[in-house]
Chains A and B, each alone.
Chain A
């Protein structure tokens, strides 16, 4: 590959200035003339109940109130706030059993803060006052907070569509024995010299994106439904809203506002259905819904918690002969991403190491908690916690160094990836492990920490991860990009890819400029407008730079091809003998002979016949490059993470010292963004394993839906962060790039758990590993 001039450069992010000046517009910043305020009235005191009486009349009389909407006043269609059903074939959807069980307003409350009706008012205050006047009576139902409770035969059924409250299990037709894997696990396990086995709890973590959910919706005078939202998936939300309200897609417009963090919380819809239902009740008037933080917490999806049992068998030399695993997740009140996480949790397990045989079972049961949906890592954090700890336990018994074991047994190029039959095209994990171990001083520290005394014990741990770049072949992967050249030879790149703050738009601009051979200033990305752009999945599965980047590259190559064709006519020389530099195309052997790109693009647009001859000059037609791109692969990235920490054995407190991630990025298109993704991922990952969990009381009411009681790591809690970017270009990714959106979160979980193990010699099986749990474990 020739030298890259823009890809790989540490340019300032394209959206940095509007954000640092406070000028970026988030959904709640929108101000429109005549804008009304919508409020969803929620059930705060019960997690499971039937609404026996709902009287809206008093609320409707409150001054400033425009309308009050109950379940009967909105469409009776239900929906699934997730989007998996849009990314699989009809057959697959039927087999998976995905359902649409969410009403706009409900009369069967399935979790605290389920919405029962809506108020549209002139001001927020009026809406609040009216909410207090809603007369509602409930009949409480038994509350189920674990799968073990809700699967009981006499339990109240959440939906007739899912008997026994079993929301999902791997379906038999595609997964014989309801399991994912290979080989005969029972036979293989018998041959093991060492068997390790345990049941782990993985936590209900909340994304905590800093921008609370907010929406504006308007049913306009042309009969179009407009929605301003910070969804991660504008095009799929357009499709979902069209279906829900039975409108053609041409009458639904989604405007993506600046996204104040996503992490999966906005994967699909949150309150778009409620905002749009309210807007449709007051045609011509924009309606804004702004979630309060507490509302955001208990009424929008979280990570899937649950019990994760795992058993691993090893030969004396460390060979992992068999893995048997079963993850049962607590689904919360609605189905949403019911099928996705239950599968991928096992897929990441399958993709990691060279087990002789694997049997993974995944299922989920409804519970009366906030529904579980997508959250950065999508099952991968769940797998990392038990898997990486059991490996270290086995290494301990076998007397094998944990880094050496991982170098020897991780999957590699040519092995099956997370989707069996789909092979890894690139893998730099060995280099990640070696360079990471070297940089953090693994060997020395492991030796040093094996002979500690006193109450402050240090530990160092390692863990690995594999992930994906886009969700194919399990789910649809497709991005459409068009690139229009203006007459002055600047480029408009039109697409729907989202930037959740990760720097994706910067990376895509770099890819466009690099491929076109144009300076950055000449390239503009038009995003966030579902009318203008073609199809795109949206931001999930760490796909944007890899798939969106591939699409941008292809569309820009199409532009370049057209430019060369036209230049070839101009210069009377075949296109393959031409070259481009500084926006000028010239003959390789005779660089004096050249044509300016601007001449071509100007003539393409302003094409008039020669007044003297009446003949056309140059070629007419504005150049438009196009790609409807289905990526050929999912080029999984890998990484190795090392965490060093200190445990105070008197208080149980953990002090984080360093977290080093060595990352197989393929190529870093925009290195500061890659580092930023890893740093941010570490924050979520260390939180997952050490501090973050949503707690409920017996009635199913959330105990910590705020930043005081839900412990996020603060600036002083964070350890020193080190990133090593290992760049071995991948054969499929644009310029060799692989993804880095979600992955940073994953291995700090296993690495920190293993560091605690290294420090105190006991493993904690329940995340988050709080000081109380450490003290309890030490006492035992």
Chain B
């Protein structure tokens, strides 16, 4: 089996692994590194449950990404959003709005929402809905998730510009 020595960061921690070339990032994170906050929903790029962020704010589907391609990259999973016991404003908003039911889509949804707000700090409802396409939630009808993103956008804007940057960057 062909392997590649690969170095990447997950939630600011560095890892160097010998990874078989066919292995997906999802498999490596979940099975090799036991990072079970990244979810398997379909394994085919259809549900968004396995979303992680690359280099801060670019959402990718880890089930479709070969792990060896992550050499030198910074990966953020939902476990990396919390800072010193404080939830990220997007996480806070999900809790406050009751946007979480079974919670299975939540890690992917939260990360996708973070990326939406990174790109556009004050999105319209339509922007949010369009941004969330690709992440499936079967529990909430998306209603409270959309409200949570709106709430997070307000919360982020309310914090000072410097802080906003810190709060938003992951």
B77 interface residue per 8 A CB criterion = yes
Of the listed stretches A18-26, A418-426, A595-603, name the one at the interface; the rest are far from the partner chain: A18-26
A718 interface residue per 8 A CB criterion = yes
Given A20-B91, A208-B138, A210-B41, A675:B103 Cβ within 8 A: no
Closest 8 CB pairs of A and B: A22-B37, A501-B102, A19-B103, A672-B98, A260-B104, A679-B141, A501-B101, A29-B36
Which residue of A10, A22, A23 has the most chain B CB atoms within 10 A of its CB atom? A22
Contact between A673 and B41, CB atoms less than 8 A apart: no
A16 interface neighbour in B46, B49, B94, B130, Cβ under 8 Å = B94
Contact between B82 and A21, CB atoms less than 8 A apart: yes
Contact between B102 and A209, CB atoms less than 8 A apart: yes
Chosen A-B contacts, 8 in total, with CB atoms closer than 8 Å, are: A21-B37, A21-B91, A22-B37, A24-B103, A259-B102, A676-B140, A715-B130, A715-B142
Mask: chain A, 402-440; 1 = CB below 8 Å from B; 0 = not = 000000000000000000000000000000000000000
B129 interface residue per 8 A CB criterion = yes
A258 to B139, CA, bound (A): 14
Q: Give residues of chain A (1-47) contacting chain B, Cβ–Cβ below 8 Å.
A: 10, 12-13, 15-26, 28-29, 31
A506 CB to closest chain B CB (Å) equals 9
- Measured between beta carbons, the chain A residues less than 8 angstroms from B78 are 20-22
B10 interface residue per 8 A CB criterion = no
Given A19-B106, A501-B101, A28:B40 Cβ within 8 A: yes
Given A21-B79, A29-B36, A712-B138, A680:B101 Cβ within 8 A: yes
A681 to B87, CA, bound (A): 29
A467 to B82, CA, bound (A): 42
- Measured between beta carbons, the chain A residues less than 8 angstroms from B105 are 210
Q: Give residues of chain B (137-153) contacting chain A, Cβ–Cβ below 8 Å.
A: 137-146
Contact between A13 and B100, CB atoms less than 8 A apart: yes
Residues of A within 8 A of B (CB): 10, 12-13, 15-26, 28-29, 31, 124, 207-212, 258-263, 290, 292-293, 500-503, 672-673, 675-676, 679-684, 706-708, 712, 714-716, 718, 721
- Measured between beta carbons, the chain B residues less than 8 angstroms from A260 are 102-104
B143 CB to closest chain A CB (Å) equals 4
B47 interface residue per 8 A CB criterion = yes
A15 to B87, CA, bound (A): 14
Residues of B within 8 A of A (CB): 31, 34, 36-44, 46-47, 49, 77-79, 81-82, 87, 91, 94-98, 100-107, 110, 126, 128-130, 132-133, 135-146
B117 CB to closest chain A CB (Å) equals 15
Contact between A19 and B100, CB atoms less than 8 A apart: yes
- Measured between beta carbons, the chain A residues less than 8 angstroms from B126 are 716
Contact between A211 and B129, CB atoms less than 8 A apart: no
B110 interface neighbour in A20, A124, A676, A715, Cβ under 8 Å = A20
Q: What is the chain A residue whose CB lies nearest that of B148?
A: A20
B41 interface neighbour in A212, A263, A683, Cβ under 8 Å = A212
Q: What is the chain B residue whose CB lies nearest that of A672?
A: B98
A680 interface neighbour in B43, B97, B130, B140, Cβ under 8 Å = B140
Given A12-B95, A21-B91, A714:B102 Cβ within 8 A: no
A486 to B126, CA, bound (A): 51
Contact between B77 and A673, CB atoms less than 8 A apart: no
Contact between B141 and A707, CB atoms less than 8 A apart: no
A673 to B101, CA, bound (A): 8
A675 to B41, CA, bound (A): 25
A714 to B105, CA, bound (A): 13
Q: What is the chain B residue whose CB lies nearest that of A230?
A: B102
A123 CB to closest chain B CB (Å) equals 9
A23 CB to closest chain B CB (Å) equals 7
- Measured between beta carbons, the chain B residues less than 8 angstroms from A707 are 42, 44, 46-47, 136
Contact between B101 and A502, CB atoms less than 8 A apart: yes
Additional 10 contacts, C-beta under 8 A, given A21-B87, A211-B41: A20-B103, A22-B37, A22-B106, A210-B102, A501-B104, A680-B140, A706-B46, A715-B128, A715-B133, A716-B130
Contact between A15 and B143, CB atoms less than 8 A apart: no
A715 to B135, CA, bound (A): 9
A762 to B67, CA, bound (A): 53
- Measured between beta carbons, the chain A residues less than 8 angstroms from B100 are 13, 15-16, 19-20, 501
Contact between A708 and B102, CB atoms less than 8 A apart: no
A20 interface neighbour in B34, B94, B129, Cβ under 8 Å = B94
- Measured between beta carbons, the chain A residues less than 8 angstroms from B142 are 679, 683, 714-715, 718
A23 to B34, CA, bound (A): 12
Contact between B144 and A679, CB atoms less than 8 A apart: yes
- Measured between beta carbons, the chain A residues less than 8 angstroms from B98 are 10, 12-13, 16, 503, 672-673, 675-676
A263 interface neighbour in B87, B97, B104, B138, Cβ under 8 Å = B138
- Measured between beta carbons, the chain B residues less than 8 angstroms from A679 are 140-144
Contact between A293 and B41, CB atoms less than 8 A apart: yes
A19 CB to closest chain B CB (Å) equals 3
A17 interface neighbour in B49, B95, B104, Cβ under 8 Å = B95
Given A22-B107, A676-B139, A261:B102 Cβ within 8 A: yes
Contact between B133 and A716, CB atoms less than 8 A apart: yes
Contact between B40 and A261, CB atoms less than 8 A apart: no
- Measured between beta carbons, the chain A residues less than 8 angstroms from B146 are 715
A682 to B131, CA, bound (A): 21
Contact between B139 and A680, CB atoms less than 8 A apart: yes
Q: What is the chain B residue whose CB lies nearest that of A261?
A: B102
Given A13-B98, A712-B138, A31:B34 Cβ within 8 A: yes
Q: What is the chain B residue whose CB lies nearest that of A678?
A: B141
A706 to B43, CA, bound (A): 10
Q: What is the chain B residue whose CB lies nearest that of A714?
A: B133
A16 to B108, CA, bound (A): 15
- Measured between beta carbons, the chain A residues less than 8 angstroms from B138 are 207-210, 261, 263, 680, 683-684, 712
Contact between A716 and B101, CB atoms less than 8 A apart: no
Contact between A258 and B95, CB atoms less than 8 A apart: no
Contact between A211 and B104, CB atoms less than 8 A apart: yes
Contact between A261 and B91, CB atoms less than 8 A apart: no
- Measured between beta carbons, the chain B residues less than 8 angstroms from A207 are 138
A32 CB to closest chain B CB (Å) equals 11
B104 interface neighbour in A26, A290, A676, A682, Cβ under 8 Å = A26
A261 to B100, CA, bound (A): 11
Contact between B144 and A676, CB atoms less than 8 A apart: yes
A18 to B97, CA, bound (A): 15
Given A20-B100, A261-B104, A293-B41, A718:B130 Cβ within 8 A: no
Which residue of A20, A208, A258, A293 has the most chain B CB atoms within 10 A of its CB atom? A20
- Measured between beta carbons, the chain B residues less than 8 angstroms from A124 are 31
Q: What is the chain A residue whose CB lies nearest that of B20?
A: A125
Which residue of B47, B77, B97 has the most chain A CB atoms within 10 A of its CB atom? B47
A683 to B145, CA, bound (A): 13
